[in-house]
Amino acid sequence: MCGIFGVFGFGHDETRLRRMASALVHRGPDDEGFFEHDRVGIGFRRLSIIDVAGGHQPIFNETQDVLIVANGEIYNHEELARHLKTKGHVFSTRSDAESILHLYEEKGIACVNELRGMFAFAIYDLRLKKLILVRDRMGIKPLYYWAQGEKFAFASEIKALLELEEISREPNFPLMDQFLTLRYVPGPETLFREIQKLPAGHYLTWQNNSFELERYWAPPFDAQPKRPDVYYQEHFASLFEESVRKRLMSDVPLGAFLSGGIDSSAIVAAMSKNMNRPVKTFSAGFEWAGDELGAAREVAQLLGTEHEEVICQSQDFSLLPKIVWHLDEPIGDAIVVPMYLLSRLAQKSVKVVLTGEGADEMLAGYLPHKVMFWMRQYVKIVPQAIQNLCVAPFIRALPSKILTRAFPYPGELGKRGKLKLLDYLSLAQKEQARDEYFFLISLFDERDKADLYTDQMHGLVSSGGVRGNVKREIKGATYLDQILSLQYESWLPDDILMKQDKMTMANSIEGRVPFLDHLLVEFLHTVPPHLKLNGLVDKAILRDYLRKAGVPRAAKRRKVPFYIPIDQYFEKGPLKELVETCLSEKSVKKRGYFKWEKVRALRSAMSQSDFLIGKQVLALLVLELWHRIFIDRESGWV
């Protein structure tokens, strides 16, 4: 796990690469390496995991005319290396990065099809003066780039690119509008107007002062002949355990994040079967009675792990500015704070952790999956006239407190949530899965923005087009798979995996995600819907695995949102102080984006436990912090 970066077409400046390297020290505190030649500069910061003594990068081929810098892990690198040695390749290290390099010599860019793992790497061919950047299939590892005329630059994090004076810090206002909708910044653009994200499953070629972007992998959704349930259950168990087993590859101590839910419990159960020592596990809890610490302790005791916990408290939100700096772009989700604390705790005893990201996306574990699936049945069965004349008026007349009882979330549905539900009932009649999905995960909708934005902001967000996410038409897939496919556009790479990468790397540890092994992902797309969402039971095939793995109580555990009582934290301590500073009347009017009266109203409503309002205030707060840290470059925040 490392940080990589490079520049092309810039004048000679020996401090340039070192400034970029300094911005990425947290990604690689153990070592650094540089290559400079003929207006080309490539650099590397290393977190030593494999071949601790000998894995220095950049790594060259035998003839010293092709080099690689790589971030991530290739879990099948030993098999690849054995095969490549039979072809006459000479290895100078045991590093997995060197296997990529020699495989590239054999197969060119087609080498990516044989890699099993998470990666973002750069190969530079000195003979052809050609750079190739590659990002893994799922987008587990980040990679950013900038191009202008004859100049090109790339890096694992945006902050390294911002060390280059040539790169503008101008905000991307249309993407700011999308951030307020989604709570994260969807790729391939970023919140910096000139900087782009390399999309998941893509590679980029830079040669002769121009670049080309190509997709090399997409999740398959082809219809498959159906088999008995037992076939899928057995095959899932085999692939899942293999995925976990491969992610135990390490020359340094490793452990796992254990929430007590079924995803992390399954990972720890599989780890326990394949390790000859107790698994080190780490959990985070909160200042409220509904967290899952008790469930995590139960699983830890059952599986005999060495278990540690951290409690996220209101004072920990003093870390929010530092976390925003590590994220590069704002993410309006309070979960980043406990993720940071959990990574900091784990770093004291391990360098690698296995985490459960991806299970909800692959196995229909989120509330929106269930809502969309059952709403489609409702729309088909109930005539539209009855929906409009009876159901909608009935819901409109019900007090929000009564609706909250049917709302499977610790917060209150509230008046704003009730409006959202009514809007969704109307939208669902159109049977447009993509529109429904993004509406359900949205934070500020068009009604909110009309009241929130100043005239200046309305002009800024419409000042330029958005290139849009990497979309793909899905034919022949079940409705549930159509829903799940939407998460590949941006949710997984730009939110879920971005948080996981940035928060673990902020503390110099490597996070590995067994549920996103591409062979397992491809198999899960062949699994019938009822083995994912069976009635109101989510992740049915994973629950079957847990029962057979000897963790039956975890298999029965219902999905519990990773809820943070943020409405309580707004009332005291650092979070209250940050809101009073960053969302004060003076600050809001000076920025000029939002109407002070609307921001004041949101602040006043924070104490009502409305599940949307607290999230909206937090999103506005982290956006302002991002401005102050990255755009205004105010000192004292980090």
Tell the residue number behind the tokens 């505190």, with chain if given: 29
330 pLDDT higher than 70: yes
Q: Which of 180, 58, 206, 228 is nearest to 443 (CA)?
A: 180
Cα–Cα distances in angstroms (integers) from residue 26 to residues 31, 348, 387, 409, in the given order: 11, 15, 54, 36
The CATH class for the domain spanning 2-215 reads: alpha beta
Determine the Cα–Cα distance for residues 40 and 12; give it in Å rounded to an integer: 9
Q: Which of 59, 64, 58, 111 is nearest to 84 (CA)?
A: 111
Predicted confidence (pLDDT) per residue in 145-191, tens digit: 999 999 999 999 999 999 999 999 999 999 999 999 999 999 999 99
Q: Which of 176-185, 282-291, 469-478 has the lowest mean pLDDT?
A: 469-478
Residue 443 corresponds to which tokens in the numbers above?
Answer: 């934070």
Q: Which of 617, 638, 624 is nearest to 570 (CA)?
A: 617
Q: Which of 466, 496, 438 is nearest to 142 (CA)?
A: 496
For the chain, counts of helices (H) and of strands (E): 29, 19
**pLDDT in the model for residue 411:** 65
Q: Which of 625, 481, 623 is nearest to 172 (CA)?
A: 623
Predicted confidence (pLDDT) per residue in 195-221, tens digit: 999 999 999 999 999 999 999 999 887
Q: Exposure string (b/e) for 450-482, b if CB count within 10 Å is 16 or more?
A: eebbbeebeebbeeeeeeebbeeebeebbebbb
224 pLDDT higher than 80: no
Catalytic choice (2, 111, 312, 582): 2
Residue 41 corresponds to which tokens in the numbers above?
Answer: 């500069």
Residue 29 DSSP class: B
Cα–Cα distances in angstroms (integers) from residue 409 to residues 295, 563, 612, 613, in the given order: 18, 8, 11, 14
Residue 394 corresponds to which tokens in the numbers above?
Answer: 């009935």
2 flagged as catalytic? yes
Percent of the chain with pLDDT over 70: 95
| Global pTM exceeds 0.75 | yes
Assign 466 a pLDDT band (cuts: 50, 70, 90): low
Identify the residue with better confidence: 427 or 25: 25
475 pLDDT higher than 70: no
Ranges of CATH 3.60.20.10 domains, the chain: 2-215
Predicted confidence (pLDDT) per residue in 603-638, tens digit: 998 877 677 899 999 999 999 999 999 999 999 998
Give how far the C-alpha of residue 36 lies from the chain's centroid of Cα atoms, to the nearest Å: 33
Predicted confidence (pLDDT) per residue in 538-566, tens digit: 999 999 999 999 899 888 887 766 678 88
Calculate mean pLDDT across residues 333-362.
96
Ranges of CATH 3.40.50.620 domains, the chain: 219-558
Determine the topology of domain 219-558 in CATH: Rossmann fold (3.40.50)
Residue 600 corresponds to which tokens in the numbers above?
Answer: 């004041």
Q: Which of 189-198, 302-311, 527-536 has the lowest mean pLDDT?
A: 527-536
Residue 477's φ and ψ, nearest 5 degrees, are: -90, 150
pLDDT mean across residues, the chain: 91
* Sheet strands side by side (includes 196-197): 31-37, 40-46, 2-8, 151-155, 144-148, 196-197
479 pLDDT higher than 70: yes
Predicted confidence (pLDDT) per residue in 71-85, tens digit: 999 999 999 999 999
Determine the Cα–Cα distance for residues 147 and 160; give it in Å rounded to an integer: 15
Assign 371 a pLDDT band (cuts: 50, 70, 90): confident
**pLDDT in the model for residue 615:** 92
Assign 51 a pLDDT band (cuts: 50, 70, 90): low
279 pLDDT higher than 80: yes
Sign of CA dihedral 16, 22, 23, 25: positive
